[in-house]
Structure 1
């Protein structure tokens, strides 16, 4: 029988010890994770959450590797992340912009290269569905545009991005930890070794901001509305477009695939296990 495993990650803050005094407070990321867990369970997934202090690098890695060990061709793994996005300098030369995007987990950042290395642990034929409601980068002008749009609608305007000065301090004071990861040639080439089919819907483009909110992040809230308790009809491209239509002009979700390009997977109704 086809199996589905889901892990929903949500951080309303991070450990100020690692992040150089910054606790990264957010409002709705734990709620995002709980809601993604509920969607997963309603769709038949074995779904778990990792919330704030439990969402450590070790815990996230362990849950992903456990799923990789359990799932076989035809199965599906869903992972969602809601929290701050960050950036680190690209030291292995695989990023055109010179920066690695990260998830700000509770006790340290996890790079996109590390995620590729984890996806490479899954058997060929496994489907991996990834949602990332976080910022990857953004300029002061983008923050101001977003704040103006949100103010007009009476919404809070907290972007899910680690401030640039914090990002610099965190890296410079933790170089002994991050540099071996960032320089790893093995991790840099992991993307080429992914045999599973990975489909990612991100909350925004790499140069945009994802917005926090009082009850859900903007992206997750739009996703819930479009999903509408399972009434949505269509594949992942249509799903992404419908979500984008509910978001502000400066937050454009992106749909991308890594590893084996599985057109049948992309055409499935979202959260389909069988």
Structure 2
């Protein structure tokens, strides 16, 4: 019997950084929650939404820890986590990345401490990895990240009036120079390595690209989330994830977005009606 829980997070506003406001992240959280209900059969009771002022680091981590604890106790065997927000980078502190940066996600209460981001108010990829690694091997984890962690792929088209990159650079010149000396690993390598294998991870772009907050169809959305929901609704679980990804990539290219979404999963992880699956890069 499938017992499931989902956390859908969307953050448009940032308490201490009003100029960093996005427009489509709350819509993304609502769209993902509705998709889970309409296509995957989730109930309202199985879905938690955290948006804007409610989406603090403490609240996000509290809910994720609850889900993992319930999975460890045998109460849940399918977890879904979607996050639409700004991404950024922080220096590696635990020496597992001697010459690289850690990737991080920006909650509503994002704050600065000295020349760097305040670790109490930012979610570092190490924290998610250390939490998710606790999941039993029979628990399926599905993660959707509509954010980006590098501005190196920024192009002029990303700055058009109807789109905005979901990336915040380090908060100071000193921190920026520190990041220039490092190279962050792709998020799928940090979040899901070292024993965490029963997983599916969708990311909105390659590690050197930006994820777009975009005006589509008269409203703001994450470009990746918008087209993902569109294709998953069209496929209604009859398409493999690899085929959904291919269609989303085509949709984004046709709309002149520069990002290339990524999918990481085990070859054995499928929807019930899927006959094929693949690791797609």
TM-score bracket, normalised by the shorter chain, equals 0.7 to 0.9
Report if the CA contact (8 A) 1:88-1:167 is conserved: no
Structure 2: any 5+ residue segments left out of the alignment?
110-120, 178-189, 275-281
Report if the CA contact (8 A) 1:117-1:190 is conserved: no
Report if the CA contact (8 A) 1:15-1:23 is conserved: no
Output the CA distance in 2 between the equivalents of 1:92 and 1:247: 37
Report the CA distance between 1:91 and its aligned residue: 2.7
Instruction: Give the aligned partner of residue 131 of structure 1.
Output: 144
Report if the CA contact (8 A) 2:89-2:169 is conserved: no
Deviation by residue 1:91-118 (Cα, 9 ceiling, x = unmatched): 3343486111111011221111111011
Report if the CA contact (8 A) 1:100-1:112 is conserved: yes
Name the structure, 1 or 2, with higher relative contact order (CA <8 Å, separation 6+).
Answer: 1
Report if the CA contact (8 A) 2:151-2:169 is conserved: no
Instruction: Give the aligned partner of residue 35 of structure 2.
Output: 39
Output the CA distance in 1 between the equivalents of 2:176 and 2:192: 23
Report if the CA contact (8 A) 1:83-1:160 is conserved: yes
Output the CA distance in 1 between the equivalents of 2:213 and 2:206: 16
Q: 1:132 to 1:96 in 2, by over 3 A?
A: farther
Report the CA distance between 1:134 and its aligned residue: 0.5
Instruction: Give the aligned partner of residue 158 of structure 2.
Output: 146
Report the CA distance between 1:68 and its aligned residue: 1.4
TM-score normalized by the length of structure 2: 0.75
Q: 1:91 to 1:219 in 2, by over 3 A?
A: same
Pick which of 43-52 and 124-133 moved more.
43-52
Instruction: Give the aligned partner of residue 200 of structure 1.
Output: 201
Report if the CA contact (8 A) 2:29-2:51 is conserved: yes
Q: 1:157 to 1:96 in 2, by over 3 A?
A: farther
Report if the CA contact (8 A) 1:235-1:268 is conserved: no
Correspondence list, 1:172-211, <5 A: 191-194=193-196, 197-211=198-212
Structure 1: any 5+ residue segments left out of the alignment?
173-187
Deviation by residue 1:192-248 (Cα, 9 ceiling, x = unmatched): 253x61211100011100000232110111112111265352222222222111113
Structure 1 residue corresponding to 2:26, chosen from 30, 36, 39: 30
Report the CA distance between 1:171 and its aligned residue: 9.4
Deviation by residue 1:30-74 (Cα, 9 ceiling, x = unmatched): 010011011112222211100011111111111111111223398
